Amino acid sequence: MKIKVCGLKYPDNIEAVAALKPDYMGFICYDRTPRYIDTLSADALATIPASIHKTGVFVNETAEVISQLIDQYGFDTIQLHGDENAEFAAAFKGRVTVIKAFGVDNDFDFDKLNAYASYVDYFLFDTKTSIYGGSGKTFNWRILDKYTLNIPFFLSGGISLDNIGELKNITHPQFYAVDLNSQFEDEPGLKNIPKLEKAFDIIKNRTLQMKYGVNEHGYYGDFGGAYIPEMLYPNVEELRQQYLNIINDPDFKAEFNDLLKNYVGRPSPLYHAKRYSEKYGANIFFKREDLNHTGSHKINNAIGQILLAKRLGKKRIIAETGAGQHGVATATVCALMGIECVVYMGEIDMARQAPNVSRMKMLGATVRPASSGSKTLKDATNEALRDWIANPVDTHYIIGSVVGPYPYPDMVARFQSIISEETKKQLVEHTGKELPEYVLACVGGGSNAMGMFYHFLDDEQVKLVAVEAAGKGVDSGHSAATTFLGNEGVLHGSRTILMQTPDGQVVEPYSISAGLDYPGIGPQHAHLYKINRAQYVSVTDDEAMKAGLLCSQMEGIIPAIESSHALAQLEKMKFNPTDNVVICLSGRGDKDLDTFIKYFGY
């Protein structure tokens, strides 16, 4: 969802609004409104970042004057808010972005838009008044259902903090942007920054909520939900009711951000990998989650959830772990907070990842072997769920990935979204713009990938690439390439895509990387896959190991084998020299040294 703030006229206020980074800022060039820019100096607009569209708003103005003001103020967008006909609009098409506004009431005839369809970029629907907007009143938004053209629209007219929540009920596929004006002012033309900040928060949250995010029942399109036995319902329901309140609370945010900064060591650097850039013919950046305390992105979520558990009054933490990274992160935050910690781990994984078992024990956690089924991650998850069933009141279950029943996928994604939040800012420092051409991350359950994608989901020009583990090859019978080999079903509490037999039994996956060795993907990934918002590819053990070695020797960074999968994907892509490419280096390779040594014979 894009945001337009309209009706600006004071230089200081313009600067303050620009700092909020709306997508459009509107300047009214119509002298019969109190928001008329009048003699505003063009210099006041010169400092507005290029990423914000400067929009001139006109009412029945002559083409000559519009043309002159476009040049004078540097407008890249014009909004025709009067009775301009299609021909008039057509004259500007191509030179600037053209928005044609209409006042809408219950009798509005949407057929009259047809004539404009080829000549404008957007429509804007405002409340119908005799004075061309600015009424501060809303119109009946249901009428929008009658709009059937495929040109995106702005919604305007009386949007305020009181009704902004109702925007979520507008599910029109062409709903593109929200226009904020009179309800966010101290006086006409002077915007109230705190009010706008609140609105931005709500709209941006809702955006992710709407198109790619979760709905109130926990679904992302066809995927998600909470397929849990009644025994778990109270636990999950308590979380569902509380998680947003808690994590949006300023005290929580302050404590979370403080720990991320001073304990985890964030922000993690965005490193411009020069030798890689040369080799692959693009600007390659590594998001260095490997530099976090405990060596991977897993700690971001563990910190978030332990703070949440504390606020829920929980006295005991349980977790599942595959490779041991999430177990170590959980044991770490439990030590930090002085809370009892029990980690479930498959018997086979305990043998494969012995050093991490020792680390967890040293951190004071109890490691309980999961000895049922295949004795790996999925069985550890089953055991943790059983523990939670038996201990519904005092225990919080810290799930380590964007999997499990709602609200876990959304909650974990939010805690990991710090990865893309930082990346956007860091990209501006490196490249002058916040959007790269490509974002790559590896996917097991998908938590680092979801954190890496999160703030780019709405920027549809950014190509998102999720790399699954093909193991010994997707056709080998030893693979974890879920989207390739799986189909829709229910796993660990959510409807998603998973690897299974035709009879619906969960198949044991395989990857040389224990962190990618999971038979499903989070429900949001399943949704992004199904609607093609992200591309899901796979990389074999051999390709990943080679990529891990290459990164070690070309950049002096030994990556986790998980992250090496994302690096290996570079070999398969073609870039333009100006492309900016971000790869999430989700973890460091220390834990994989044994595997690397055995594989390469060092």
- For the annotated catalytic residues, the residue numbers are 298, 320, 586
Kindly give, in sequence order, each residue whose CB lies less than 8 Å from that of residue 186, ignoring residues fewer than 6 positions away.
Answer: 192
Q: Whose structure tokens read 């024990």? A: 361
**Sites for another protein among residues 386-425 (CB under 8 A):** 386, 389-390, 392
Asked if 493 touches another protein (CB under 8 A), the answer is yes
Which DSSP helix (H) or strand (E) runs through 153? strand 153-155
Asked if 215 touches another protein (CB under 8 A), the answer is no
From 85-93, 502-510, 544-552, 559-567, give the range in contact with another protein by CB under 8 A.
Answer: 502-510
- Closest CB to another protein among residues 239, 566: 239
Asked if 165 touches another protein (CB under 8 A), the answer is no
- 429-432 contacts, C-beta under 8 A, 24 or more apart: 430/270, 430/272, 430/283, 430/285, 430/580, 431/283, 431/580
Asked if 372 touches another protein (CB under 8 A), the answer is yes
- Among 305, 500, 538, 586, which residue sits at the site for another protein (rule: CB under 8 A)? 500
| Degrees to nearest 5, angle at CA 445 with 355 and 344 | 45
- Closest CB to another protein among residues 281, 489: 489
- Closest CB to another protein among residues 231, 254: 231
- Closest CB to another protein among residues 224, 295: 224
**Minimal distance in Å, beta carbon 242 to another protein?**
16
Instruction: Assess contact for 286 and 557: CB atoms under 8 A.
Output: yes
Here the tokens at position 77 are 């967008």
Binding mask 444-483 for another protein (x = CB under 8 A): ----------------------------------------
Beta bridge partners of 540: 471
Give CA–CA dist 412/398, Å, rounded: 9
Select from 589, 465, 451, 590 the least CA-distant residue to 539.
465
Say whether 36 sits in a helix, a strand or coil.
strand
Residue type at 157 in one-letter notation? G
**Minimal distance in Å, beta carbon 390 to another protein?**
5
- The size of the interface with another protein (CB under 8 A), counted in residues, is 34
From 342-350, 434-442, 455-463, 490-498, give the range in contact with another protein by CB under 8 A.
Answer: 490-498
**Minimal distance in Å, beta carbon 386 to another protein?**
5
- Closest CB to another protein among residues 145, 488: 488
Distances (CA, A) of 169 to 144, 165, 488, 519: 11, 8, 28, 35
- Among 318, 341, 385, 550, which residue sits at the site for another protein (rule: CB under 8 A)? 385
Asked if 348 touches another protein (CB under 8 A), the answer is no
From 31-39, 152-160, 336-344, 491-499, give the range in contact with another protein by CB under 8 A.
Answer: 491-499
Please give the radius of gyration of the chain, using alpha carbons only, rounded to the nearest integer. Answer: 26
Provide the b/e sequence for 113-142 (b: ≥16 CB within 10 Å).
beebeebbbbbbbbbbeeebbbbeebbebe
- Among 174, 489, 575, 599, which residue sits at the site for another protein (rule: CB under 8 A)? 489
Asked if 280 touches another protein (CB under 8 A), the answer is no
Q: Whose structure tokens read 């700690």? A: 299
**Minimal distance in Å, beta carbon 433 to another protein?**
43
Asked if 354 touches another protein (CB under 8 A), the answer is no
Residue type at 515 in one-letter notation? G
Asked if 265 touches another protein (CB under 8 A), the answer is no
- Among 505, 574, 576, 577, which residue sits at the site for another protein (rule: CB under 8 A)? 505
Asked if 345 touches another protein (CB under 8 A), the answer is no
**Sites for another protein among residues 221-260 (CB under 8 A):** 225-231, 233-234
Give CA–CA dist 423/452, Å, rounded: 8
What is the end-to-end Cα distance of the chain in Å, rounded?
Answer: 51
Give CA–CA dist 139/136, Å, rounded: 10
- Among 21, 112, 137, 217, which residue sits at the site for another protein (rule: CB under 8 A)? 217
Select from 382, 366, 399 the least CA-distant residue to 522.
399
Give CA–CA dist 205/184, Å, rounded: 19
Here the tokens at position 572 are 């398969």
- Closest CB to another protein among residues 95, 217: 217
Give CA–CA dist 251/232, Å, rounded: 29
**Minimal distance in Å, beta carbon 503 to another protein?**
4
The residues of the shown chain that bind another protein, judged by CB under 8 A, are: 217, 225-231, 233-234, 372-373, 378-379, 382, 385-386, 389-390, 392, 487-493, 498, 500, 502-506
